[in-house]
Amino acid sequence: MGLLDSYRRLFDLSGRSALVVGAGSGIGKAGAEALAAFGADVVCADLNLEAADATTAGIIGDGGAAKSAHVDIADPDSVRAAVAEPDIVLCTPAINVRKPMLSLTTDEIRRVLELNLVGTFNVMTIAGAGMAERGLGSIIVISSIRSQVVEPGQGIYAATKAGAVQMVKTLASELGPQGVRVNALAPGVVETPLTDQIKANPDWYQAYADKGALGRWAQPSEMAGAIVFLASEAASFVTGSMLVVDGGWLAMDGRFTPPLPS
Ligand SMILES: NC(=O)c1ccc[n+]([C@@H]2O[C@H](COP(=O)([O-])OP(=O)(O)OC[C@H]3O[C@@H](n4cnc5c(N)ncnc54)[C@H](O)[C@@H]3O)[C@@H](O)[C@H]2O)c1
């Protein structure tokens, strides 16, 4: 092997199997496509099987390897049935109920906790158990900038996104000795169905664009590089971390741009 060959292969995922939960839409769809593009054999899993099928068809149509599965991450039996023996797991599903904390109902809180925390826990632990036995694996969970900074209306969503990071750190510490890496990806604002409510309000949409250093929203495909990185040997020493892909949102407080000499 040449001096540079092992570096050239850092992102190569051929021979790897990947389970992408939430592959029917947004960041999960982009993640599934990108993992397949780098050679992984991908199971596109989603509550919405039709949407997962569409992602699978797109991958196969472009020469990649994929198949679909129906999964409800809130149901451990459903997760057990979908998790075969993946080397890579990407778990994306989450919901947000944007309401003041004083108005949130117990039912709404439970719904968000059940999907964002319990569902994510189910995927991480069921996949993680098999990976630990096999002595290999990379688990990627989607957190958010909301794990770090909030605004009115993010109470329960932000709590779950911070909770996801702490679950990532804990599982990374528990499974590290068995060779399993566990990381979080924290996106900034990404144009997906999840954020349609914001896009429908031009002031809200523009304010979010202006908040980050890049002055715009991300497309789901802009999360793909970080997902492939965390999945691959390029991240062989990366575990228990949160990779921020936010266009500079967290770097700036965004209150005011002071007048400065040019
Ligand atoms: N879009 C953003 O701006 C943004 C920003 C920060 C973080 N995130 C996070 O990224 C992740 C993905 O968000 P997105 O924007 O791609 O969302 P999305 O709504 O486009 O996609 C979520 C997918 O999850 C599936 N899903 C929902 N419930 C499920 C369940 N019980 N079991 C299996 N699949 C289920 C949906 O059918 C859908 O295909 C979420 O965790 C979200 O909190 C998104």
Q: Is residue 2 part of a domain?
A: no
Q: Is residue 226 part of a domain?
A: yes
The CA-atom distances, in angstroms, between 24 and each of 63, 146, 167 are: 19, 23, 24
pLDDT band at 254 (very low <50, low <70, confident <90, very high): confident
* Ligand 1 in reach of 212 Cβ (< 6 A): no
- What is the rounded average pLDDT of the residues 238-249? 98
pLDDT band at 256 (very low <50, low <70, confident <90, very high): confident
* Ligand 1 in reach of 21 Cβ (< 6 A): yes
Q: Which ligand 1 atom minimizes the distance to the CA of 46?
A: 34
Q: Is residue 141 part of a domain?
A: yes
Give nearest CA residue, ligand 1 atom 32.
Answer: 72
Q: Is residue 253 part of a domain?
A: no
Q: pLDDT tens, 153-181?
A: 999 999 999 999 999 999 999 999 999 99
What is the residue-wise DSSP string for 134-189? HT-EEEEEE--GGGT---TT-HHHHHHHHHHHHHHHHHHHHHGGGTEEEEEEEE--
Domain hosting residue 235, numbered range: 13-244
Q: pLDDT tens, 58-82?
A: 999 999 999 999 999 999 999 999 8
Do you know the residue count of the chain? 262
What's the structural domain count of the chain?
1
> CATH number, domain at 128?
3.40.50.720
pLDDT at 151: 95
pLDDT band at 17 (very low <50, low <70, confident <90, very high): very high
pLDDT at 225: 98
Q: Is residue 46 part of a domain?
A: yes
pLDDT at 142: 98
Q: Is 157 a catalytic residue?
A: yes
Q: pLDDT tens, 75-111?
A: 999 999 988 899 999 999 999 999 999 999 999 999 9
